[in-house]
């Protein structure tokens, strides 16, 4: 992985966060670069693992899937081992070490009630390094935050990339081909020929099925990278308590903010989980005072810094 990106590489990475399967030609047209330059600058970022593309399932389209946000308190001298053990689970989407180094923030997509009970009633209690935990179901994820680009793209550039996304189609979601899903999870920028070879279908069929999954919002394509490469040096999770009548408005408003990379309504003592990415602590403070301070709808806010990321968008860091 790279330790730094130059300004052109940063803008390319930001564009690929907003449109993970955009072609080199489209990226060049959006950013004012030649297709050859985009290929020369972006392809090595995937080759060395600085950028990785994957897909994340939409729990609303998988009835048995239960998305849960966990806060796990651990013994500080064992937190790294616990974080890595949880990150190795195929059902964890993100695992982050928080606060003073004694707490983990986790989002896990549990396949069914039995998997939920196994994790909460057997696995966590049996782990001696774990002191306590809380679990909150994710009731609704606000998708606007998935367009986060770190402020590196203009509104016009973001709009041109947004236009690439397949328009949602009404009706029940299409059936999922699990071989196709597995191939996309491993590399969501695979060409249709590569997807065909991995699944045994034709390239035309792979394209048609992938487009149907995207239009039906069954899956979301995501780009994973270390946000510090984009100038982010202050990340935090915020747990907010919002009056129920204001929850939808608050979630939509915050998810559209350029510093918010994730926002979801939850069950539990707090009801809105927000992940914030800022350039520095001054930027984080400005978000708390200028954005949350003027929202006027939250009754309480707990802000916990993210120390390090172990897994994000389902990929080990």
Which domains does the chain possess? 231-309 (3.30.70.920)
- Residue 93, both tokens: 């989407």
Model confidence over 61-83: pLDDT tens digits?
A: 888 899 999 999 999 999 999 99
What pLDDT is attached to residue 186? Answer: 95
What pLDDT is attached to residue 154? Answer: 92
- Which is it for strands 234-241 and 103-110: parallel, antiparallel or unpaired? unpaired
Model confidence over 9-49: pLDDT tens digits?
A: 999 999 999 999 999 999 999 999 999 999 999 999 999 99
What pLDDT is attached to residue 270? Answer: 95
Residue range 168-187: mean pLDDT, rounded: 88
Contacts of 178 (CB under 8 A, 6+ apart): none
What pLDDT is attached to residue 278? Answer: 96
Q: Residue 316 above 90 pLDDT?
A: yes
Q: Residue 167 above 90 pLDDT?
A: no
- Residue 81, both tokens: 């081992």
Q: Residue 166 above 80 pLDDT?
A: no
- Residue 236, both tokens: 């935090």
Long-range contacts of 88-94 (CB under 8 A, 24+ apart): 88/316, 91/115, 92/311, 92/314, 93/56, 93/67, 93/311, 93/312, 93/313, 93/314, 94/309, 94/311, 94/312, 94/313, 94/314
| Residue 180 or 293, more confident | 180
Q: Which of 67-81, 219-233, 295-309 has the lowest mean pLDDT?
A: 295-309
Residue range 72-99: mean pLDDT, rounded: 96
Average of per-residue pLDDT values in the chain: 93
To 5 degrees, how large is the angle CA 231–CA 49–CA 142?
A: 60
What pLDDT is attached to residue 146? Answer: 82
265 burial via Cβ count (<10 Å: 0-12, 13-18, 19+)? buried
Question: How does residue 117 score in pLDDT terms, banded at 50, 70 and 90?
Answer: very high
Model confidence over 240-294: pLDDT tens digits?
A: 999 999 999 999 999 999 999 999 999 999 999 999 999 999 999 999 999 988 8
- Which is it for strands 103-110 and 52-57: parallel, antiparallel or unpaired? unpaired
| SS3 readout for 157-217 | HHHHHHCCCCCCCCCCCCCCCHHHHHHHHHCCCCCHHHHHHHHCCCHHHHHHHHHHHHHCC
Q: Residue 1 above 90 pLDDT?
A: no
Q: Residue 91 above 90 pLDDT?
A: yes
Instruction: Of 183, 262, 198, give the one whose Cα is nearest residue 17.
Output: 262
What pLDDT is attached to residue 168? Answer: 79
Contact, 53 vs 99, CB < 8 A?
no
């Amino acid at each position: 992985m790279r330790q730094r990106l130059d300004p052109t590489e940063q803008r390319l990475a930001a564009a690929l966060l907003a449109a993970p399967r955009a072609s080199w030609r489209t990226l060049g047209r959006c950013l004012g670069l030649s297709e050859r330059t985009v290929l020369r600058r972006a392809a090595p970022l995937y080759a060395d693992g600085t950028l990785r593309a994957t897909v994340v399932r939409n729990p609303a389209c998988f009835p048995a899937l239960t998305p849960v946000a966990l806060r796990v308190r651990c013994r500080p001298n064992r937190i790294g081992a616990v974080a890595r053990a949880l990150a190795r689970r195929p059902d964890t989407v993100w695992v982050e070490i928080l606060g003073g180094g004694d707490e983990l923030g986790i989002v896990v997509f549990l396949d069914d009630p039995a998997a939920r009970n196994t994790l909460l009633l057997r696995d966590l209690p049996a782990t001696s390094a774990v002191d306590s935990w809380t679990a909150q179901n994710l009731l609704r994820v606000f998708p606007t935050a998935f367009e986060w680009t770190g402020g590196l793209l203009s509104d016009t550039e973001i709009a041109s990339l947004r236009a690439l996304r397949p328009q949602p189609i009404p009706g029940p979601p299409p059936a999922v081909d699990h071989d196709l899903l597995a191939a996309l999870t491993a590399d969501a920028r695979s060409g249709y020929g590569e997807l065909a070879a991995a699944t045994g279908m034709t390239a035309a069929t792979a394209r048609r099925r992938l487009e149907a999954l995207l239009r039906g919002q069954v899956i979301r394509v995501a780009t994973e990278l270390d946000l510090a490469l984009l100038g982010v040096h202050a990340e935090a999770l915020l747990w907010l308590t919002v009056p129920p009548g204001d929850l939808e408005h608050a979630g939509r408003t915050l998810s559209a903010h350029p510093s918010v990379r994730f926002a979801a309504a939850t069950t539990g003592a707090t009801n809105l989980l927000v992940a914030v990415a800022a350039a520095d602590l001054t930027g984080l403070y400005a978000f708390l005072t200028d954005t949350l301070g003027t929202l006027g709808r939250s009754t309480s806010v707990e802000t916990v810094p993210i120390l390090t990321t172990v897994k994000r968008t389902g990929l080990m860091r």
